[in-house]
Chains A and B, each alone.
Chain A
Amino acid sequence: MTINTLAKGGWDREQMACFRKMEKVIVAMQDPDMGMKMRNQRLLITVIPHAMTGRDMIAWLIKKYSICEEEAVHLSGMLVRYGYIYPLKEPRSLVLRPDESPYRFQTPYFWTSTRWPASELDYAIYLAKKNIRKQGELMEYEKERYSLLHKRINHTWDFVVMQAREQLRASKQRRKADRIVLECQEQAYWLINRPPPGAHNVLDMGLERPNNFSARVTLVSDIITFIYIETCRRALGRNRVKSSICLEGFVKYSEQYQNHDPIMQGCLPSNPWISDDTAHWTMSSEIVPTPTRLRVERWSFSFMELLKDIMGMREFMLYLEKEFSAENLCFWQACEDIRHGESSRILEKVEDIYKNFLAPGAARWVNIDSKTMDKTLQGLRHPHRFVMDDAQMHIYFLMKKDSYPRYLKSDLYKNMLAKAIVPQETKKSVFPFMRRQRHSSPSPAQAVIQVTEEDGHAKGAGRAGTNSAAGSHV
């Protein structure tokens, strides 16, 4: 066989690993003891030995892997798509039919993995053979490819034709059954490695991944080892938590949020994607007159949940105002604004924060411990996005440990919970075929445009005012 010189990259590794796994399944299917029962299949007037039906394959896979029928159909479908099994009836359609249609195992000689990628030379020889056999009656796309190859590898064309003739001669000396089988096998191989235009290309691997085995191997591996050693050293110094505690955490978390997980428990009144009714979204929008019960309950799961929800944060702010400690939340919000806001405004925002919250005698002075305050003030000399992190963290924990638990016990929260709505579940429509009209919603982008327009109007009005004033002065 011809040697191919194409470089092997990242996707090569991926694909070969897949091939090997499929091949294991194929080998297991052919195991004399535990494999499938084969039989002779009649194809027109010829009898093809060692064949099986789609149904046999599915049954074997179900038993071997304890899977359902749908999955077995899918898996055997993949084996056919990748050419490990080919159909005897309609051999150009590499599809698994879950019935009595006969199939056969591809010979390892023609496994895609055996000589991958398929070479142009081999394809030329195949087309040449077909051309001779069918006396020029190739399919359109085959004719095109044949002439393209003829141009591209013209220098070895004599070799191609010679090989084609030789292989045809050899095949004439075989028994008819064997000849048919070989033709089927070869055809299946090329259907996969050179699919007809428009056909599904199973070997499409997408974009080549950057190969790590570059020319600068030695240099790169030194650096990688250094970094790895540093990482390991740091990791050894890490505080680890006992598994029992961590894992228990996941169980608790999932239990707590289970009722809030629409895919698992459904959502009230109904899942919009299923019922086409957007009531659920309307009731859960950012700002509503009355929030849902689930939403208010979530505020009690963690401090972060409360702060993430704009209504929750508003309620908490109201509570803090009553306690005269609202400056803490305001400070926290201002720090968040720096962390997530535009780089160009960081300096200005940091100065504002200092003026309002940190400077001695500031209007809304926040109570930070002296160590953190010193560190923050130092950092203010060279302000950056994360300069307020320590102070923000301190205030966050202050609120979390103190104000937050008290809020949850407060009347304010309890009332919120009491008047929260529990939507009625919409019973499945009596007429399942009646589809509700799916209403559009305003795009978030539109909301911004409206605001800017309003600003524009206000500005315009202001200007008009001054003009008239200026006008009257004149």
Chain B
Amino acid sequence: MACKGLQEGETVASLKKESESLKKKLDEERGKLSDIELNQVAEKVEVLGPLCIKTRRVLKGHGNKVLCMDWCKDKRRLVSSSQDGKVIVWDAFTLNKEHAVSLPCTWVLTCAYAPSGCAVACGGLDNKCSVFPLSLDKNENLSAKKKSVAMHTNYVSGCTFTSSDMQGCDKKANVWDMRSGQNVQSFETHESDINCVKYYPSGDAFASASDDATCRFYDLRADREVAIYQKDSIIFGASTVDFSLSGRLLFAGYNDYTINLWDTLKGTRVSVLFGHENRVSRVRVSPDGTALCSASWDNTLRIWS
């Protein structure tokens, strides 16, 4: 990142002024092309019928808060990581635990399943991102085979196998070009820290979950926020979001232990899922869209369908 010094005549104050006037101009430009709102466009779409979504599996086995999970491409396996320092690979369909690795640190904040299905990556308070090959030899000590892939200066909070192009940073959501390393787009409409961002299936938009108890939908081509998902009765922050396969449903996990389902297009809430007994830390729809997995601070994972 290039850092120029202050130019002749520039002061911090004049910089601030310039940045503010640019922001205003940007908002104006964005406003010029916003000729209609999402819920207006969605008026002609049929209202969603009542959805019967229930817990179909409860994965018990972690000794402490489950912080993260990721699905395997085979649509039934998943990996989860926990504050107890363990990373577990489950066949969620049969509830079998297939692999369990103990990391030397607690707070394994993130984990990801390799697209090949042959390895998992995880990271956390050890400031490292480690990759473990999944061996089927029961006697093999997986920890011995781990490979450290990256070292960071602070704890690792997220890792995925395909590069993540997005980042929620304070109240701003930034879109980055991986190749040039540049911040391509920036959105700042949340009133509090953003906890999670996820692309819409077509890649033209994304949703964010924030401590301000709202989730928002941003259109990348129109370059603006196009929907806010909020309700008076929802007081606690949202920590995680994911879309259903068609993008019509938005699942959001909250700090009040619930999962709310939103109609992405109409902006209304379709349903609430109760069941967890502590914060929901992560929700992820399975690769073929047949189920939703939620990880929670109540030490369990639930599969909903």
Binding site for B on A (CB under 8 A): 10, 13-14, 17-18, 21-22, 25, 61, 65, 67, 70-71, 74-75, 78, 200, 204, 206-207, 209-210, 212, 218, 221-223, 225-236, 238, 240-251, 253-258, 260-264, 267, 271-274, 278, 280-281, 284, 386, 389, 438-441, 443-449
Contact = CB atoms under 8 A, between A and B. Distances in A.
B221 A246 contact: yes
A233 B290 contact: no
Given A438-B94, A444-B116, A260 B246 contact: yes
Contacts of A445: 117-118, 133-136
A408 B254 CA distance: 44
Contacts of B212: 17
Contacts of B16: 225
Interface string B196-208: 0000111011000
Contacts of B211: 13-14, 17
A58 to B, nearest CB: 12
A88 B265 CA distance: 45
A223 B3 CA distance: 7
B284 to A, nearest CB: 13
Contact of B30 (A240, A248, A251, A272): A240
A207 B36 contact: no
Contacts of A235: 26, 185-186, 223
A235 to B, nearest CB: 6
A10 B193 contact: yes
B48 to A, nearest CB: 7
Contacts of A264: 48, 51, 244, 246, 248-249
B72 to A, nearest CB: 7
B305 interface: yes
A322 B135 CA distance: 43
A355 to B, nearest CB: 25
A25 to B, nearest CB: 7
A10 B169 CA distance: 12
Interface in B162-208: 170, 179, 182-186, 192-193, 200-202, 204-205
Given A13-B193, A236-B29, A253-B246, A247 B41 contact: yes
A137 B6 CA distance: 68
Contacts of B154: 210
B192 A263 contact: no
B35 interface: yes
Contact of A78 (B36, B44, B256): B256
Contacts of B179: 386, 389
A246 B233 contact: no
Interface string B1-30: 101101000001001101100110110011
Given A240-B223, A445-B117, A272 B93 contact: yes
Interface magnitude class on chain B: 35 or more
Interface in B210-261: 211-213, 219, 221-224, 226, 231-233, 235-237, 244-249, 255-258
Contacts of A274: 56, 305
A137 to B, nearest CB: 32
B246 A251 contact: no
16 contacts: A14-B237, A78-B236, A78-B256, A206-B279, A210-B154, A228-B23, A249-B202, A261-B244, A262-B291, A263-B51, A263-B291, A271-B290, A280-B290, A438-B93, A444-B117, A449-B136
Nearest to B232: A65
A209 B237 CA distance: 15
Given A246-B221, A273-B303, 6 more contacts: A65-B232, A247-B222, A250-B41, A262-B290, A444-B77, A447-B117
Contacts of A71: 233, 272
A242 B264 contact: no
A449 B292 CA distance: 30
A440 B247 contact: no
Interface in B278-300: 278-279, 285, 288-292, 297
A200 B232 contact: no
Contacts of A444: 72-74, 77, 116-118
A80 to B, nearest CB: 13
A10 B195 CA distance: 12
B247 A254 contact: yes
A281 B76 contact: yes
B47 interface: no
A243 B247 contact: no
Contacts of B117: 443-445, 447
B248 A261 contact: yes
B146 interface: no
B91 A200 contact: no
Contact of B201 (A212, A253, A439): A253
A258 to B, nearest CB: 5
A225 B14 CA distance: 11
A247 B36 contact: yes
Contacts of A22: 235
A247 B226 contact: yes
Contacts of B183: 227, 230-231
Contact of A254 (B155, B170, B264, B292): B264
Nearest to A449: B136
Given A17-B212, A228-B19, A246-B204, A25 B235 contact: yes
B33 interface: yes
Contacts of A249: 202, 204, 221
A284 B76 CA distance: 13
B303 A13 contact: no
